[in-house]
Amino acid sequence: MKIEHFAINVPEPTAMAEWYVKHLGMRIIMASKEAPYMHFIADDVGSMIEIYNNPAAPMPDYANITLTPRGDKLLFLRDPWSVPFQFVQRSSPLL
């Protein structure tokens, strides 16, 4: 299975899409000017992220997750909109 895209709920989809284009070299594939302001952005190999705004859906508190019971190490970085990105060093690699 090839994952076409994953979606994240963010406070400012338009500004976030522009930030990813400027700082990470992504491109906007589709952008909506009406709620929920969906933007599909992609890198140069076709990995896509859908960003949108749905204020009714809460965002998880990723900042407090750092080590799993199995011993996996987690690192979270946030962009200017406080959207977290998770990097994982597994105690037993999946691949």
Tens of pLDDT, residues 12-23: 999 999 999 999
Q: What is the pTM of this model?
A: 0.66
**What is the C-alpha to C-alpha distance for residues 80 and 95, in angstroms, rounded to an integer?**
32
**What is the C-alpha to C-alpha distance for residues 36 and 55, in angstroms, rounded to an integer?**
9
**Per-residue pLDDT at 77:** 74
Burial category of 16 from C-beta neighbours within 10 Å (exposed 0-12, middle 13-18, buried 19 and up): buried
Output Rg (C-alpha) for the chain, integer angstroms: 15
Task: Look over the chain and give the mean of its residue pLDDT values, rounded to a whole number.
Answer: 86
| Segments making up each domain of the chain, as ranges | 1-56, 60-95
Place of tokens 């859908």: 50
Q: Are 13 and 39 in contact (CB under 8 A)?
A: yes
**Per-residue pLDDT at 59:** 66
**Per-residue pLDDT at 62:** 52
The CATH number of domain 1-56 is 3.10.180.10: yes
pLDDT in tens, 40-94: 999 998 889 999 999 898 766 655 657 788 888 877 777 888 887 777 788 888 7
**What is the C-alpha to C-alpha distance for residues 18 and 3, in angstroms, rounded to an integer?**
23
Q: Which of 80, 23, 77, 32 is nearest to 88 (CA)?
A: 77
**Per-residue pLDDT at 95:** 76
